[in-house]
A and B are shown apart, each in its own frame.
Chain A
Amino acid sequence: MCTRRSERLSTRSTTRPTAPWTSGELVRRQAAQEIGTIIYSLGCFPSQKDLHDFIAKVEEDHTGYIHLDKFLPAMTKVLQEHKFPPISEDLLLQAFEALDKEKKDYLDPEELTKYMTQEGEPFTQEEMEEMLTALADHRNQIHYKDVVSQMTIKPDK
């Protein structure tokens, strides 16, 4: 049900880079990640399932390609309807607190790994390693209160 995170999104086409919105080219669907990246960058927070449903609607009949002509109106609708609203800092904190059963104010890597890889829409091993590298401090603890305020992205001015 969840998408295996594909290898790093560094394979670019060898033609000149084009801006996502200004070209009529077909957007190659190397993985659901490509569309995910675009949608996330537009300020939305879809779940993996949301992404899949969205892609299913706009994909060109199992060709693996998504045409901008279909993507643009669908995406515009998503934005106008605020379909995948952002997660506030408070809510995120509550979520971390919910996982911190012992109320230590931090999580151990094992705890976080257990939840991230077994619950919800599980992370792949690669995603998990990356998250631990990013969030764990020198004591190998995840102090989520610090992390959340550091990593919450302010809305564009």
Chain B
Amino acid sequence: LRVVCIYLSMKKSMKAAVLIQRWYRRYIARLEMRRRYTWNIFQSIEYAGEQDQLQLSSFFSFMLDNFTQLNGNGPDLISQLLDPLVDPWLDRETCYNQIHVPESYTGPRLSFPLSVSDTSALLSAFKEQQTLHARYALQLLYETKKLLKQMPNIIHLSTSYIKDITICGDLHGRLDDLLLIFYKNGLPSADTPYVFNGDFVDRGKKSMEVVILLFAYLLLYPDSMHLNRGNHEDHIMNLRYGFTKEVMQKYKTHGHEMLQLFQDIFSLLPVATVIDGKILIVHGGISDQTDLDFLSSIERHKVSGNKAVDLHPPPLSSLLQIVDILWSDPKTQEGCSPNTFRGGGCYFGPDVTQRLLLRHGLQLLIRSHECKQEGYELCHGGQVITIFSASNYYEEGSNRGAYVKLGRELVPRFYQYQVSRSTLRAAEGSALRALKEKLFAHRCELMAGFLQCDRNNTGSVSVSEWAQVLESVLRLDLPWRTLRPHLTRLAPDGSVDYPSCFEDMGPGNPLPQVAPNLAETLFRYRTDIEIIFNIIDKDHSGLISAEEFRHTWRLFSAHLGVDINDRAIDDLARSIDFNKDGSIDFTEFLEAFRVVHKLDSKDQHLSGKMDGEKC
């Protein structure tokens, strides 16, 4: 009997164990699913945003073609908007040594040429949240520009005298990640060479600090520190994605001069690096047109990488070479197709990679440009490495950052890190909030689509119809059915109660009286409109004239094909508080069109922060 008891007990344990294992594996799988769709949401919205960027550029060219006289001030408006493009090669007037640095300033006082004590001082200062005084920042930028003018388009490095080269990807203003890399891997020096593969600025809040450090080390060790240009090293991208704002906030008096210098410097950054004639490093990727010899020959500072804005456009072939290098993404299928998701560059297949590598005797392509959950990813049979160095890029806990080291054997070794970990819940919440804002911003179109399927106006459609409408309007290619429980309610019969999609969101401050479709347009294009206002507002005072407001708005809506009559725009202009002599405080105006999530009314400041700084 005892034996039987033991046997039964063992059998019971085994059954219990199996049950627990099944349950636990399922739990992990569910977590994985949530992680994946959170990722999908962030990525889709990001790429869709970059596509909007192209819209903005084409708006500028539209304006060039269609400018009208504005009380005799027509040309001023347009030339204002394009921020007269001085040839970046030319030296700008300098007067930084006339800037007075007060005794009370306790930050670094750089002396040129820079020494290790200067870079150490910068590191300590930034760790203590100090800002470098404009006088030194400006001199740093001037020196950097001088240095970059001497560099070729493609830098050739060799590992013969050094042990290892470290290659880092996108940093996007994440100072913590840069400091972590320096901590784990060592500061840049003659023995510790680095290549930083573009996208140093935008999105993160410390772009200024990141780029100052990178430039300082570049000046200190020009043979060991190498910077490639990324698609965010571009003044139009900076307007949209936060760098311009950050500079103006940190340097109110001299910010404008700095931004002009940054514009020059970014266009003078080399576009590619080659190691030992075997490894090609570019920010985005390649296309089937990429030709390294041709790339070496063009005048890179004349190519802004943003098609519409050059007053004297470079030859199309040069432009395309650069755009492809900065914007392309690899794909698994063969061939080369336009990168419609991003609005620039190509999707390049393994055959394109193979051909290019063969043609130039290369064995590996290292690129960045895409956020990867593990910080890095291999594709095209190991011939392409994506390296991304901004951890927690989308949200706390979203991804690791990584860097890659190459020794003399040129075998890549990867190092990963994550600045802080957090629960999936925070990232997921953030992704879902961003997604709901997208829904809200397209409410009219979505409702029209739903009503088409719901002729009898019952307030519900099938899950399939719901998913179809969402995809056709938003085009984000997301797993809508999986996301459904987070976005909308079901009616008792299992169909989707679609009005509930928009339930828990609304506008911020009380809206000025506007027609609904005008309001929706403002929600949707808020960022673009903000950019345009910022450009018009030359002295960054936050104010533009009522006439400028009307004129720009009319042009913008004509370009978008949105049918808004003059009367509605005039009403709008009039309803906004005029601060002084006919000026409009557009920041205040746009605040009203920031989407607020009603359920987090106590977190209103949080969603504001998310929108403005995580664009």
Contacts and interface: CB of A to CB of B under 8 A. Distances in A.
B21 A40 contact: no
Interface string A67-109: 0000000000000000000010001101110110000000000
Interface stretch (B22-30, B129-137, B175-183, B575-583): B22-30
Contacts of A14: 329-332, 370, 377, 379, 386
B223 interface: no
B489 A47 contact: no
A1 interface: no
B514 to A, nearest CB: 35
Interface in A9-52: 9-22, 33, 36-37, 40-41, 44-48
Contact of B332 (A13, A20, A156): A13
A116 B29 contact: no
A48 B33 CA distance: 18
Interface in A102-133: 115-116, 119-123, 127, 130-131
**Most chain A C-beta atoms within 10 Å of own C-beta, residue among B24, B330, B471, B490:** B24
B25 A40 contact: yes
13 contacts: A8-B374, A12-B377, A14-B330, A14-B331, A17-B43, A37-B33, A44-B26, A48-B25, A92-B19, A99-B17, A115-B13, A119-B17, A120-B18
A37 B29 contact: yes
B515 interface: no
Contacts of B116: none
A37 B17 contact: no
A157 interface: yes
B464 to A, nearest CB: 10
Given A47-B18, A98-B16, A156-B485, A87 B23 contact: yes
B299 interface: no
Size bracket, chain B contacts: 35 or more
B29 A99 contact: no
Interface residues of A, number: 47
B20 interface: yes
A98 B13 contact: yes
A10 B20 contact: no
A123 B485 CA distance: 31
A156 B481 CA distance: 12
A87 B21 contact: no
Nearest to A89: B23
Nearest to A11: B377
Contacts of A16: 341, 477
A12 B43 CA distance: 12
Contact of A121 (B21, B28, B29, B479): B21
A73 to B, nearest CB: 17
B12 to A, nearest CB: 5
Interface string B387-424: 00000000000000000000000000000000000000
Contacts of B509: none
A67 B204 CA distance: 42
Interface string B92-118: 000000000000000000000000000
Interface of B: 12-30, 32-33, 36, 39-40, 43-44, 329-333, 341, 347, 370, 373-374, 377, 379, 386, 467, 471, 477-482, 485, 489-490
4 smallest beta-carbon distances between A and B, as pairs: A40-B29, A120-B18, A119-B17, A95-B16
Given A19-B481, A37-B33, A131-B24, A115 B40 contact: no
A35 to B, nearest CB: 10
A96 B479 CA distance: 35
Contacts of B32: 9, 37
B19 A91 contact: yes
Contacts of B373: 10, 12
Given A16-B341, A116-B17, A116-B20, 10 more contacts: A14-B386, A17-B40, A40-B33, A41-B30, A44-B26, A47-B21, A92-B20, A119-B18, A153-B27, A153-B30
A115 B17 contact: yes
A146 to B, nearest CB: 15
Nearest to B40: A17
Contacts of B477: 16-19
B28 A47 contact: no
A94 B477 CA distance: 43
Nearest to A19: B479
Contacts of B467: 22
B93 to A, nearest CB: 46
Nearest to A118: B17
A102 to B, nearest CB: 13
Given A98-B16, A119-B13, A41 B482 contact: yes
Given A11-B377, A14-B379, A95 B19 contact: yes
A47 B377 CA distance: 31
B22, B30, B480 pick with most chain A CB within 10 angstroms: B22
Contacts of B379: 14
A133 to B, nearest CB: 12
B583 to A, nearest CB: 44
A15 B20 contact: no
A41 B25 CA distance: 11
Contacts of A123: 21
A44 B30 CA distance: 11
Nearest to B480: A19
Given A40-B30, A130-B28, A157-B485, A19 B21 contact: no
Nearest to B375: A10
B497 to A, nearest CB: 11
Contacts of B33: 37, 40-41
B482 A95 contact: no
B13 A46 contact: no
B12 A98 contact: yes
Nearest to A13: B332
Contacts of A96: 16, 20
Contact of B13 (A19, A21, A99): A99
Contacts of A127: 24-25, 28
A136 to B, nearest CB: 13
B13 A87 contact: no
Contacts of A47: 18, 21-22
Contacts of A122: 21
Contacts of A18: 477
A120 B480 contact: no
Contacts of A12: 36, 39, 373, 377
B540 to A, nearest CB: 38
A15 B25 contact: no
Contacts of B490: 157
Contact of B478 (A19, A33, A44, A87): A19
A22 B466 CA distance: 13
A13 B43 CA distance: 13
A95 B341 contact: no
